[in-house]
Chains A and B, each alone.
Chain A
Amino acid sequence: MDPELTFDAYWSAIDEELAAIPGRPVLDVVPARTTDEAAFYSLRITSTGPYRVYGNLSIPRGDGPFPGLLITPRYGSVNNVPHPNDRSRYVVLSLMHRGQRLADEGFAAAYPGLLTMGIDDPSTYVYRGIAADCLRAAEFLMGLSEVDPARVAVTGDDLAVLTAARRPGFSSVRVTDLLFYRAMEARLKSCLYPLEELNDHLRRGSSAEGLSTTLSYYDPARHAPAVTGRTLLSIDDEDWCRSLLAALPDPEVYPVTHLDGTDNDFLDAWLAERSAVPAMSKFIA
C-alpha cells in the first residue's frame, strides 16, 4: 500500500465523516464575560462520533468584519478563556476538544493517558476525533459573517498546522508548541510528560513500530506542505525543526528568548500586524 495514499485516504475519510454530520451549533451569551468591548458566547457543536464539543467564542463590538482567530486546544484538561486583549480585536474561538472539561459528557480525558489512547491503531487513535474537532471549529469560525475571510489565523501546537493544512483560508498560522513532531525521538530525551506517555505505553508491550505508524499521521511535517498561510514557528532549536521548516511553503522563525514576557509580546505583535489590528501586551505597564 502506498504510504502517501494511505495518509491522504486517512484524512479524506475524516473530512467525509465531518461533511456527513451537521454541526448544529448552539450559541449562548455569557453575561459575565460580555463587555462593551466584545460579546461572549459559549458554543456547542457536533463533531465526528458524533460528539458534542464546546468552544468559547467572542465577537468584538462595533462594525465588522473582524479578523478571526482560532485557538486550538493545548494538551491538558483545560484551555484558558480567550484573553480580553484578543477578544477586543479578533473574533476569537477557543475550542475544548472531546474529553476536555466542558466537552466531557460521556468521555473525560485522562492525564496522563490521552496521548496514547487508542494509539495502537490509527483508526482508533483518540486524536483522530480531536483533529476532527479542530476542523469543525475552523469551519464554524470561517462561516461567521463577522469574520473577515482575508484575515483568519490559527494558533496553537501541531493541531494548528494540521487544521491550517486541511482547511483553506488561514492566512496566518502561529505555532507556539510542538507535540507530535519527531515525537518518537523526543520521548527519549527526558521523562517529562506528556511525551513520557509514549514510553509508558511501550513499557506495556506495544510495538514502537505501531506507535510510529500512528504518530506519522499527525506529524506536522507531513501536513505542512498543504498550509497556504504564512507560518510562524516559535522555537529555540532550528536544526531540530529543520524538516518542518523545509516542508512549510511560507515559514518564519521566531527564536524564543525564554523570557516569556518578551516572547508573548512578540507573538502578539506578529499576529496583530498580519491581522491589521493594534499590538497589545497582556502585562499592563
Chain B
Amino acid sequence: MRDPENATVDVELPEDFDDFWAAGLADCASYPLDPVLTELPNLSTDTVIVNDLHFTSYGGLRIAGWYAVPRDRPGPLPGLVTIPGYISEPTVPKEWAELGYATLAIAPRGKLRSNDVFDPGYPGLLTHNIVDPNTYGYRGFYLDVVRAVEVLLDRPDVDNQRIGLQGSSQGGGLGISTAALMPDVIRCVAAGAPYLCGIMTAPTLTRSYPYEEINEYLRIHPKDVDRVRETVAYYDGLNFAPKVQAPTLLYLGLEDDVCPPETGFALHRALTCEKTLHTYPHCAHHAGPSGRDADRGGLPCRAPHPGTVNRWTPN
C-alpha cells in the first residue's frame, strides 16, 4: 500500500545549478523583449479586450501568447501568467480577465503559434535531448515563462507588485520554477498536480503519460540512465522549491496517475515559503473535484458544457 505523504523522493542538486540558470537568464537578457501586442476584436467582448502577443525569449525565439484585460477597469491591474499543461494549448484567458486580472496565457516554445522553430511534439518534449542539460528541450520552455513575466513587468497596465502564476500539471511545475527564478517579482503561485518534480522517481510510480516517455526512452537507451538523471536534476521542481519566496498553494489528487502524489508531497516539504496544501482523496490528475476550482486558486466552477464534466484538461 502506498504512503505518498511519507514517501522518499530523492533528487541530487547539481553543484552548478544556480550558475546554470543564471546563464539561461543572461541569454534571455541579451535579447530585447520586443513585445508586440495586436488587439483582436473578433475575440474580444464587451467586458474583455483580447490581444495577440509575441515577444523574444531564450535563444532569440519569438514566443506567442494571449493577453487579456478587463475592458473598463482602471489599472494598474494585478498580473497573472497562466501556464499550459503538457498536451494542452493555452486557451484565451477571458475568464481571468473578467475577474480583473491582466492575464497572459503563454504558449511556450513547441506549443502552437510558438512552434515554427522548435517543435518536439507531444509525446516528445519530455525526452527531447534529455541526455544534455544544455540542450534539453525544456531549457527554453522554462525560460519562456520567465520572459512572459517580464512582459507583464513591462506593461503600464500591470501592477508590478501584484504578479502571480497559475497552472496545473506542467503549469504547476513551471509555476514553481518560475517563482524560484524570479523571487523578487512573483507574489503568489497556484500549482495543481505539479509535474516535473521528482522527475526520476515519478516514472517508477506510474505508467501514464507523459512520464511513461522516460520509461520508453530508457527501454531503448538503458545505458543513458545516468545522463538522464544528471540532466533532469537541473529541471526538477524539488531543486527549485527552496528558492521560491512567494506564498504557494499546492493541490494534489491522491490517486493521481499522471503526477504521482508522492512528488507533490515532496515538493511541499521542499518549499520553505509560506505554503498551503490541499489534498483530495479519490481524485486523480484533476487534483480536486471539478466543482471546486476556487479551492485550487482558480475560478469558481463554470463548466464549459453543462451536463458533462468540466473539460478542463490539466495535462
Contacts and interface: CB of A to CB of B under 8 A. Distances in A.
B42 A178 contact: no
A180 B201 CA distance: 40
A284 B280 contact: no
A194 B212 CA distance: 28
Given A76-B87, A177-B309, A196 B282 contact: no
Contact of A204 (B2, B42, B91, B286): B42
B242 interface: no
A46 to B, nearest CB: 22
A189 B306 contact: yes
A234 B286 contact: no
Interface string B272-293: 0000000011111110011100
Report whether over half of chain A's contact residues are helix, strand or loop; otherwise say mixed: loop
Contacts of B302: 189-190, 192
A275 B309 CA distance: 25
A270 B92 CA distance: 35
B118 interface: no
B73 to A, nearest CB: 16
Interface in A143-196: 176-179, 181-183, 186, 189-196
B87 A32 contact: no
Given A32-B217, A260-B285, A78 B122 contact: yes
Contact of A81 (B1, B123, B220, B255): B123
B207 A84 contact: yes
Given A111-B89, A191-B95, A234-B308, A258 B291 contact: yes
Contact of A186 (B43, B88, B89, B305): B305
B309 A236 contact: yes
B207 A85 contact: yes
Which of B206, B216, B285, B286 gathers the greatest number of chain A CB atoms within 10 Å? B216
A258 B284 contact: no
B208 A83 contact: yes
A176 B307 CA distance: 11
Which of B91, B219, B311 gathers the greatest number of chain A CB atoms within 10 Å? B311
Interface residues of B, number: 56
A76 B88 CA distance: 7
Interface stretch (A17-25, A117-125, A261-269): A261-269
Contacts, number: 163
B304 A192 contact: yes
Nearest to A80: B209
Contacts of B303: 190, 192
B304 A181 contact: no
B284 A191 contact: no
A230 interface: no
A91 B47 CA distance: 49
A61 interface: no
Contacts of A259: 280-283, 289
B45 A191 contact: yes
Given A32-B220, A178-B307, A240-B306, A260 B283 contact: yes
A8 B51 CA distance: 42
Given A235-B308, A236-B308, A283-B257, A76 B284 contact: no
Interface in B105-134: 112, 121-123
A56 B268 CA distance: 37
A108 B119 CA distance: 13
B53 to A, nearest CB: 15
B309 A234 contact: yes
B255 A110 contact: no
A189 B311 CA distance: 14
Contacts of A102: 121
Contacts of B307: 178, 181-182, 186, 235-237, 240-241
Interface string B217-257: 10110000000000000000000000000000000011111
A256 interface: yes
B94 interface: yes
A33 B123 CA distance: 12
Contact of A193 (B286, B304, B306): B304
B98 interface: yes
Nearest to A81: B209
A84 B212 contact: yes
A80 to B, nearest CB: 6
A77 interface: yes
B118 to A, nearest CB: 14
A23 to B, nearest CB: 24
Contact of B282 (A189, A194, A262): A262
Nearest to B89: A111
A240 B282 CA distance: 26
B284 A282 contact: yes
Nearest to A178: B308
Interface string A1-40: 0000000000000000000000000000001110100000
Closest 7 CB pairs of A and B: A261-B255, A240-B307, A282-B257, A192-B304, A78-B87, A259-B282, A237-B307
Interface of A: 31-33, 35, 74-81, 83-85, 101-102, 108, 110-112, 176-179, 181-183, 186, 189-196, 199-200, 203-204, 234-237, 240-241, 256-264, 281-285
12 contacts: A32-B216, A80-B315, A81-B209, A111-B91, A112-B92, A176-B308, A193-B92, A194-B304, A204-B42, A257-B289, A282-B208, A283-B206
Given A80-B315, A111-B112, A194-B304, 6 more contacts: A178-B308, A179-B305, A192-B91, A199-B45, A204-B42, A282-B206
